[in-house]
Amino acid sequence: MTAPHSVLIVGESLAGTAAARHLRTLGHTGPVTIIGAEEEGAYSRPPLSKAVLKDPTADHTLGLSLDGLDIGVIRSAAVAADPRRRTVTTADGRRIGYDALILATGADARRLAAPGQRGELVLRTLDDARLLRTRLADAATAIVVGAGFLGMEVASACAARGIPVTVVDTDRPLRRILGGYLSAAITARAAAHGIRFVQATGVAALTGDPVHGVLFPDGTELTGDLVVTCAGEVPCVGWLDGTGLADRLGVGIDDACATTVPGVFAAGDVTYLRGNATRPHRRAPFWSNAVAQGRTAAASALGLPPSGPSQDDYFWTEIAGLSVKIVGRLPLLGEPTTVAGSVAEGRALLTWTHTDGTATAVAYGRRQPITALRRLAATSPLPLNSAQPAHT
C-alpha cells in the first residue's frame, strides 16, 4: 500500500488524538483533520468520576492537547460516511474527503429512562460530570443504577460527600468482571464506607418525571434526591448507518485496527475486536486500549506495522478510597492463583491463571508500577519467593 496523502479522524477524544499524534510521530507530513462533536475539544474521561465530581478546578486539567502538530480541527458531528467516494459529511453541511479514515467516535452512556421521561443522570461527558457535581451539592440521598466500575466510582463520590447512597444491580458489585472473590471484598469495603447495595431480581425501571426513583420487579420502589444510571455504554455508530462498517457491538476491527472496508480503520470504545475460531468478539472500552488502538490505527493507515502492542489490557479504577489496577484478561473466575498481602486489609497483589495459560495480575490497594504489574501478568504464577498460598 502507498502511504495516504490525507488522513481524516472522526472523534476528537482519547483514541482520535492518540492516532493524530502518532501519525506525526511516524513522520506523516500530509494533511490530518480531526472531526469532533464536543465544544470542549478533547479531554480525558477517567477523572470525570473521580477528581471532577469533587473538585471544580479539576475541569481544567483534562485536556488532550494537539498543539503544534498542525492538525486541522472541525467541531461539528459527522452525520454520514460514504466509503466508496471516501467522504464524510458533518452536521454543518461540510463534505470532507480522505485517503485514509480513522473512526474514533467512542460511546455514549446507555440510558434506561422511558421515551420522554426527563431527569435521568448519566456520566460520560464533562457536561454530565458538571451537572452531577452541582446536583450532588444539595442532594440528601442518591441512587446509582449499575454496580460496575463506573457505578461504584460514582457511589464512592457520593459516600465521600457524606451522601447516603444505594447501588442497585441484578448482580453483586463488579462480579461480572472481577468475579466473586474480589466482588465480595469490594462489596464489604464499600459497605464500610456507607455504600448500601440492593440486589434486584430483575431489571429495575426508573420512576418519576423527572426521575426520582427505581421500581423493582416485585413492585417495591426506592426513591432518592438523585438517580444516576451507570448501565454501560453504547458505541456511537448511528452516523455509519448504511456503510456496513458497524453493527450492534460497534465497529469490528482486526489486530491491525483495520475494518472490513479498505482505507478505513477504527480505534477505542467504538470498536470491538472481531473474533475467530479460537476467540470470541471482544470489546475493551478502557483508557489504555484506546491509546494503543489509536496508535495502531495510525500506523495501519500509513501502511506501517504497529510500533507497539495493538491492544492493551491494563485498566484501573478507584472505589471507596482504594485503587485497583488490573493487567490481563477479564472476567476473573474463581479463586486467585496467588495472593501476596491481605485483601481484607486492602493491600494485596493477586494473580489468576487462565485455562489458556495466560494470567491476570491485580494490584488491590497496593502501590505497584504498571510495568511491574505487566511483568507479573506475563510471568505468572508468581515466583515462589514472592508468592504465598491464596488467603485473605
Ligand X SMILES: Cc1cc2nc3c(=O)[nH]c(=O)nc-3n(C[C@H](O)[C@H](O)[C@H](O)COP(=O)(O)OP(=O)(O)OC[C@H]3O[C@@H](n4cnc5c(N)ncnc54)[C@H](O)[C@@H]3O)c2cc1C
CB of 268 to ligand X, least distance (A): 2
> What is the contact surface with ligand X in residues (CB under 6 A)?
10-16, 35-38, 45-46, 48-49, 77-78, 104-107, 123-124, 150, 236, 239, 268-270, 285-288, 290, 315-317
Judged by beta carbon, residue 284 or residue 340, the one nearer ligand X is 284
Cα 286 versus chain centre, distance? 4
CB of 366 to ligand X, least distance (A): 17
CB of 18 to ligand X, least distance (A): 8
Judged by beta carbon, residue 78 or residue 168, the one nearer ligand X is 78
- Residue appearing with cell numbers 488491590: 364
CB of 293 to ligand X, least distance (A): 8
Question: Which residue from 179, 222, 171 is spatially nearest to 201, judged by alpha carbons?
Answer: 171
Within 13 Å, how many C-alpha atoms sit on residue 80's CB side?
A: 10
Judged by beta carbon, residue 181 or residue 272, the one nearer ligand X is 272
CB of 251 to ligand X, least distance (A): 11
Judged by beta carbon, residue 104 or residue 167, the one nearer ligand X is 104
CA–CA–CA angle 270, 273, 277 (5° rounding): 155
CB of 109 to ligand X, least distance (A): 7
Helix, strand counts (H, E) of the chain: 7, 25
Judged by beta carbon, residue 243 or residue 338, the one nearer ligand X is 243
Bridge partners of residue 351, in order along the sequence? 338, 361
Query: Phi/psi of residue 8, each to 5°?
Result: -110, 130
Strand 322-327 to 264-266 pairing: unpaired
Cα torsion through 110, 220, 217, 207, rounded to 10: -30
Judged by beta carbon, residue 222 or residue 326, the one nearer ligand X is 326
